[in-house]
């Protein structure tokens, strides 16, 4: 009955097939096997692939990924739950501080421009929103949201 099976060159690719190919390409980029331009080109082709044969040609020159048991703990695992289990709960919190810093830079720039345009130093008003925001971030670290399993 194997003779009746549709060849890969004509078998339609699923979203899961395209996602698996994209993950393999991302691993190759991380390992230095692909440069950014080649990765982006192949990723675009993978996302628009219609048949599995197109996906196979995009990864044909890449080595097979090791089985999950042989991967390092720091390496990305499968998409979805496997990857979420490896991500530190502090990552979201650190990302929030990056947003806070961006907000601080923008608000301080606005404060500086308005002070220069007014000719006098205006009271440092960004202290209030930044202070409240920082207090919320610190509180999220001390009392995490246990129902969601994250630091938020």
pTM given for the model: 0.43
The string of pLDDT tens digits covering residues 6-17 is: 787 788 988 888
Residue 86: the pLDDT is: 47
Residue 11: the pLDDT is: 87
Q: At what angle do helices 36-47 and 15-31 cross, to 10 degrees?
A: 170
Residue 89: the pLDDT is: 63
**How far apart are alpha carbons 130 and 135 in whole angstroms?**
8
Residue 96: the pLDDT is: 87
Residue 3: the pLDDT is: 55
Extents of the domains making up the chain: 2-86, 90-142
Residue 148: DSSP 8-state: T
> What are the phi and psi torsion angles at 3 (to 5°)?
-70, -20
Q: Produce one character per residue of 124-150: b if its CB has 16 or more CB atoms within 10 Å, e if not.
A: eebeeebeebeeebeebeeebeeeeeb
Quote the tokens at residue 46.
Answer: 């993978």
The string of pLDDT tens digits covering residues 74-129 is: 544 444 444 444 456 667 778 888 999 999 999 999 999 999 999 999 999 999 99
The string of pLDDT tens digits covering residues 39-75 is: 889 989 989 989 988 888 888 998 887 776 655 555 4
């Amino acid at each position: 009955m194997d003779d009746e099976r549709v060849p890969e060159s004509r078998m339609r690719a699923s979203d899961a097939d395209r996602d698996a190919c994209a993950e393999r390409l991302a691993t190759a980029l991380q390992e230095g096997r692909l440069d950014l331009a080649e990765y982006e080109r192949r990723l675009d082709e993978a996302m628009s692939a219609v048949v599995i044969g197109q996906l196979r040609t995009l990864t044909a020159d890449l080595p097979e990924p090791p089985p999950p048991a042989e991967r390092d703990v720091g390496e990305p695992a499968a998409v979805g739950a496997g990857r979420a289990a490896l991500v530190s709960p502090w990552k979201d919190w650190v990302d929030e501080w990056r947003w806070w810093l961006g907000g601080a830079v923008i608000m301080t720039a606005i404060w500086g421009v308005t002070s220069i345009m007014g000719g006098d130093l205006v009271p440092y008003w960004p202290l209030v929103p930044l202070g409240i925001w920082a207090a919320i971030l610190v509180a999220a670290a001390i009392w995490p949201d246990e129902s969601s399993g994250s630091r938020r």
